[in-house]
Structure formats: structure tokens, C-alpha cells
């Protein structure tokens, strides 16, 4: 009987501990929500390599609470789910199956002219020639993969122009 009572006491203690952890998580969620949408920047990453998606998402989300990162590995699925005027920045891989990054960007810009775009590739591209092909479009940067995390964060911050956003 003592052992049952002891187990019950420990169970209760564990339960309180779990409740405390859950309450802390709820408070953190609440704090994040209370920051307000305007303090977040929403980034959309499209790359057919799951490892790259996961790494970029983790790197950006762990660098700051100011980023919300959404990922897709299929350009056709992305187009079917795309929300206009929702994303601040698109990081798009150039070489993907079904549709390359340039074609995808052109379609996205038909849906949302305000999104900023950064192309990613393991190869080189001529960004100024690309801007000549798409004049007036919001193609801001080129990311050569692989990229160091600190360089990725610096490029993203520059592209999103956080200093102007801070008032």
C-alpha cells in the first residue's frame, strides 16, 4: 500500500511538472502571438532537396524570432497553395523538377508583385542579365549554395531591410 501511495505521489508530481512545462509553452506561444503580425517577416523557401529546406528553415528560425518560415519542395504544390500578399521574401532554388525557379518566380509575381525574390543555386547566374529579362521585378539577391548560415542571415536581413522596418 505504501508503494502504491508513493507511486501516486510521484505520478502527481510528474503530472504537475508536465503541466508546468505545458503552461510555460502556452505562455511562450501567447507572447509570440502578442508580438503582432507586423513584427514578423514571413519567408517562403522552395527547394526540391529536403535536407536543404530543413537546414535553411532551422537556420532562419533559430537566428531570430522575427522570421516565420514556410517550406515547399514541389513548385506545383506551392503554386496551388500560394497566398498573395502573405510572404515577404521567397528563396527559390533555380534547378527543380516540374518547373524551374525562374518559371515559378514569374508565376508567383503574377499573383503577388510585392514579394521579394532571392534565387538559389549551386551554379552561377548573371543576376544583372536576369534583371534585364524581368525589369521592375523584385529580384533582389542570389544565394550560391552551399552558404554559411551567417551569410544567409545577413543576405536575408539585407533583403528584408530590417533597419527601415524598425521605427
How many Å apart are CA 104 and CA 81, to the nearest integer? 13
How many Å apart are CA 124 and CA 121, to the nearest integer? 7
Q: What is the largest CA-CA distance in the chain?
A: 82
How many Å apart are CA 103 and CA 147, to the nearest integer? 23
Please state, in angstroms and as integers, the Cα–Cα distance from residue 151 to each residue in 21, 77, 81, 134, following that order. Answer: 35, 29, 29, 26
**pLDDT for res 5:** 35
pLDDT in tens, 64-88: 889 999 999 999 999 999 999 999 9
All cell numbers assigned to 96: 527543380
Spatial contact of 83 and 120, defined as CB atoms under 8 Å apart: no
Confidence bin at 22 (pLDDT 50/70/90) = very low
**pLDDT for res 14:** 40
How many Å apart are CA 119 and CA 54, to the nearest integer? 17
CB atoms within 10 A of CB 84: 12
Collect all residues with Cβ–Cβ distance below 8 Å to 118 and sequence separation of at least 6: 89, 90, 91, 92, 139, 140, 141, 142, 143, 155, 156, 159
pLDDT in tens, 121-158: 988 766 666 666 666 555 668 899 999 999 999 999 99
Q: What is the pTM of this model?
A: 0.70
How many Å apart are CA 167 and CA 147, to the nearest integer? 30
DSSP 39: G
Amino acid at each position: 500500500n505504501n508503494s502504491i501511495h508513493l507511486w501516486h505521489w510521484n505520478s502527481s508530481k510528474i503530472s504537475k511538472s508536465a503541466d508546468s512545462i505545458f503552461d510555460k509553452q502556452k505562455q511562450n506561444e501567447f507572447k509570440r502571438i502578442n508580438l503582432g503580425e507586423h513584427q514578423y517577416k514571413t519567408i517562403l523557401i522552395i527547394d526540391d532537396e529536403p535536407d536543404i529546406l530543413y537546414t535553411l528553415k532551422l537556420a532562419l528560425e533559430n537566428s531570430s524570432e522575427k522570421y516565420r518560415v514556410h517550406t515547399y519542395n514541389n513548385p506545383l504544390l506551392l503554386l496551388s497553395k500560394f497566398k498573395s500578399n502573405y510572404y515577404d521574401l521567397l528563396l527559390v532554388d533555380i534547378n527543380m523538377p516540374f518547373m524551374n525557379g525562374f518559371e515559378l518566380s514569374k508565376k508567383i509575381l503574377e499573383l503577388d508583385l510585392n514579394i521579394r525574390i532571392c534565387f538559389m543555386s549551386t551554379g552561377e547566374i548573371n543576376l544583372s542579365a536576369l534583371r534585364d529579362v524581368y525589369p521592375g521585378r523584385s529580384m533582389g539577391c542570389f544565394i550560391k549554395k552551399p552558404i554559411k548560415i551567417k551569410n544567409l542571415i545577413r543576405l536575408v536581413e539585407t533583403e528584408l531591410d530590417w533597419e527601415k522596418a524598425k521605427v
